[in-house]
Chain A
Amino acid sequence: MFDDIDASELSYVGKKADRPDMLEKLTGEAVFVSDMEMPGMLHVQLKKSPYARARIKRIDAVKAAAMPGVRAVVTGDELDYHIGLYIVDKYILAKGEVRHYGEAVAAVAAETLEQARAAAEAIRVDYEPLTPVLHHMDALKPDAPLVHPDLGTYSYIQAVFTPKPGTNIANHTKLRKGDVDKGFEESSFIVEREYSCPSVQHVPMETHVAIVQWGRGDKVSIWTSAQSPFTVRNLFCHAFGLPHINVRVQVPYVGGGFGGKAGIGVEPLCAVLSRKAGGKPVKFQASREEEFSLLPCRSALTYRIKTGVSSEGKILAQHMTMYWDSGAYADYAVNVTRASGYSASGPYEIPNAWIDAYTIYTNKPYGTAYRGFGHVEFHWAIERHMELVASAIGMDPLAFRIKNALKPGSITLTGERILPSTGNVVKCIEEAARRINYGRLTDEEKARERKTGWKIGKGVAALQKAPAMPSYTATAVVLKMNEDGSVLVNLSLTDYGQGTYASIRQIVAERLGFSIEKIKVAFENDTDRDPYDWQTVASKGLLMSGNAAILAAEDMLKNAYAVAAEVLHANPRDLGHDADRVFLKHHPDHGVAFAAMAVGYALPNGSGIGGPIIGVGRYIAQGLSNLNKETGEGNPALDWTFGAHGMIVEVNEETGEYRVLKVASIYDVGRAVNPDIVRGQAIGGMIQGLGTAICEGYIYDQQGRLLNPSFTDNKIPTAKDLPLEIECAVVETPQIDGPYGARGVGEHSMISVAPALGNAIQKATGAELMHMPMRFEDVWRAIGKKEPVDNWITKSPVGSCRSAPELRKRD
């Protein structure tokens, strides 16, 4: 879709443009599912498990069902629906056994929240507590309890995933490239280290919420705060065996998602309650505490990397083993494992690679997609590792990165050749370094060090990500012309804050040549009225829906030209148009207004021709393929967005406290369609990345109870946590198949923030941090070479950075 159009010739693309949702959001008029009330609507409260693993001996809900206002009580016993994106392993309510703390075992729908709460408290559950398996590394031990003893009987997507029945392994992704043994044999240095990070919560400001009405004739209406209306409908229909035509999913304004609302969530629970309550609409809104423990989180990761390097600093071989903590259910975690597995080395060329990536069941809240889809977590490891390898072999980390970076001609892990148009990671790294005066302290910085006594350090980390999606992912955009010649855009890629609709609007205006004020993108999505989109995930929205929008605009013009040709008695090839009318190119005064044709043109005698003008654009990913399950070979990447962060930090060596002085973030976005929105994504993601780097993470006790399921002890960054200085810049290497050359950047801004910080802290103090987040205490311990604290499962014997560096100089 890329036309080589100079920026100066574009009217809207690449220029400033308002977001179309501002007015509604700034006045409080935007209606979210949280705000919706249906006539006769019932409210839900849940009975949840206090245990991480237990057998459910008996549930007594008789008293609850008879309480005032209660219209339905449901327990797992009476339901037999399995849900799952990739491995169908989850019940709507726990059945027989609870598999994590906070899992729902029974649900009440009542006329008021107060009545529902009272009834939920009246439900009695007898449990037989069982020994949980909490740490994912413990779950691999031969005597570990099995989270899913029936794994062998579950259905799953066989072309892509490999569960191991009889173990806790939900998926094993393999990648084999070149000859690793030979690569290590030829290496002058070998460095092996282990990195880790805990589970993290997405924290959308609007928690998960849905209203479901199970109507007569099994016609189901769903209003939900979700990213992907069609995926909700598809998975819902599969779970209940309903025809797709029976189910309608509507998504109004959504208060953030970040991947946590990518798939299906609380909709099936509301559905079974509505059905039992005779078809009344049922609303469930998760409390913030439920958002932490009932709903999914980001998976924890342990990542072991062994790297062989030549005497010149070229990586010759890399052995990578990822252990992803899926929690109790596979959900997206198996696909996070797969997507991370095939890009596990970051933006570097590894001629000989061996990757095993495991998804491991444990008795903890389950993992799902989260902005970056694994790349935030494994780039923490890879980009800390690059730093540690470089310092171990006595090379500057920046030079080591640039030497090994993917460049035109490089072959990726899956065998894809990097082209000049793929993007320029080297330029991103160099620019990030330049903007922080990498490698030296300025006079001002030296003076600051003297004044404060805090040490200043600078670090750089690079990043890459391609959309993780099926090879045949598709979308569509429909344009409808209104009576006055304005245009309505329908698509079911959702905009839950990221701003894609503003960019789509610019693209449509650009391609139609219309004034942008005449273009409206409809916000509320509806599977009954909008064309299909697979999911709003993976930073693929702008590229794919942008392309579909271009095709739809071209189709709309073609249809308008056909009518105009008839009206003007002209060959369509002789026609041109401006913002308002179609005319003869050689006789511009002779034309017809779009408004006159919009819903059908009336000839002077009253006869009509044409009909309502619409434009349809369909787009499907081009040239992608499944990966070979044994070697990982194939073509998974719609596009690669590269980037880098440079970070300046000051650290108090006595206390481990630190402050981020500056972050410079650079991305190769192909073309920045809307500079303010790119900047919003860049800064918003970077701050979310800092949260992951500084303080966020689930902490469990040894029984598997989540100790910090609220903002009291699970902090996220506030306005006061901003770096003192933030710079964002883009490299623009056009994406050949991107709309006006654009590629996605929504997730990328969060990736590699943590290692840039870790690298800067190491530069300042020498502290070797292997575990994120880097709390002040962790930094203090690392500086003092004290035993690291591992309270992610408190008092667990499994440490976060026990692996010793294996460094051997060979001759």
Chain B
Amino acid sequence: MKIRLTVNGLAYERDCAEHKTLLRFLREDLGLIGTKEGCGMGECGACTVILNGRAVNSCMVLAVEADGAAIATIEGEASGPSLSDIQKAFQRNHAVQCGFCTAGMVMSVKELLSTTPGPSVDQVKDAIEGNFCRCTGYTQIIEAVMELTGHPETKGELEHV
């Protein structure tokens, strides 16, 4: 089936197998491999992209369903050579370890900040609850978002006894 959609501001037109998930379409047909598959079941959030302004698990959306949609993925997050504010905050706060959940995590944060520019810690947790991270223990990710939104006091430090 022929579909037309916009990804990171670029228009694409492709013939797409009807059973293909949006995740596979992005990775296999468009070469946008930044979005990852962690479970294929909508549980882990590694495949989170923004579909018409909303964070969704792209492993549970068919590409054909996204015909006509506007999609944002991690590849569109930095503008030119410079990282976005969210990416910079993640970098400053060591909010990345293995990096496999990172794309989905950034997309969830992006949707949150688009609707709630000054979130509380609980609102951040609500927004990323569906994004598993096995490495960081989430704390430095939450600190990155809070620092970005004007609450650097949330950040903890390694203390020396």
Contacts and interface: CB of A to CB of B under 8 A. Distances in A.
Is there direct touching of A and B in the complex, by C-beta distance under 8 Å? yes
Interface of A: 18-19, 21-32, 34-35, 202-207, 253-256, 258, 287-288, 427, 431, 496-499, 666, 672, 675-680, 682-688, 710-712, 716-720, 722, 726-732
Contact of A27 (B43, B87, B131, B161): B87
Contacts of B90: 22, 26
Given A685-B137, A687-B137, A679 B158 contact: yes
Contacts of B140: 676, 679-680, 683
A31 B101 CA distance: 13
Task: Pick the most buried of A28, A427, A685: most chain B CB atoms within 10 A of its CB.
Answer: A28
Contacts of A254: 98
A750 to B, nearest CB: 10
A676 B158 contact: yes
A719 B124 contact: yes
Given A203-B134, A675-B158, A28 B39 contact: no
Given A205-B132, A686-B137, A732-B160, A711 B39 contact: yes
B75 interface: yes
A676 B134 CA distance: 17
B35 interface: yes
28 contacts: A21-B96, A22-B90, A27-B74, A27-B75, A27-B77, A28-B35, A202-B134, A205-B98, A256-B97, A287-B40, A672-B160, A675-B158, A676-B94, A676-B140, A678-B158, A680-B135, A682-B158, A711-B43, A711-B132, A712-B43, A716-B132, A718-B132, A719-B124, A719-B125, A720-B125, A727-B159, A729-B159, A729-B161
Task: Pick the most buried of B33, B73, B124, B131: most chain A CB atoms within 10 A of its CB.
Answer: B33
A202 to B, nearest CB: 8
Contacts of B125: 719-720, 722
A28 B106 CA distance: 11
Contacts, number: 195
A205 B101 contact: yes
* Nearest 5 Cβ contacts at the A-B interface: A28-B34, A497-B98, A25-B99, A255-B100, A687-B137
Contacts of A684: 97, 134-137
- The main secondary structure of chain B at its interface with chain A is loop
Contact of B139 (A203, A718, A726): A726
Interface string B90-118: 11011011111111001000000000000
A685 B135 CA distance: 7
Nearest to B127: A719
B97 A288 contact: no
Interface residues on B, range: 35 or more
B91 A18 contact: yes
Contacts of A710: 39, 41, 43
A681 B160 CA distance: 16
A427 B103 CA distance: 40
Contact of A719 (B32, B93, B142): B142
A258 B96 contact: no
B56 interface: no
Contacts of A687: 137-139
A498 B100 CA distance: 13
A255 B103 CA distance: 12
Contacts of B135: 205, 256, 497-498, 680, 684
B96 A19 contact: yes
Contacts of A256: 97-98, 100, 134-135
B71 interface: no
B63 interface: no
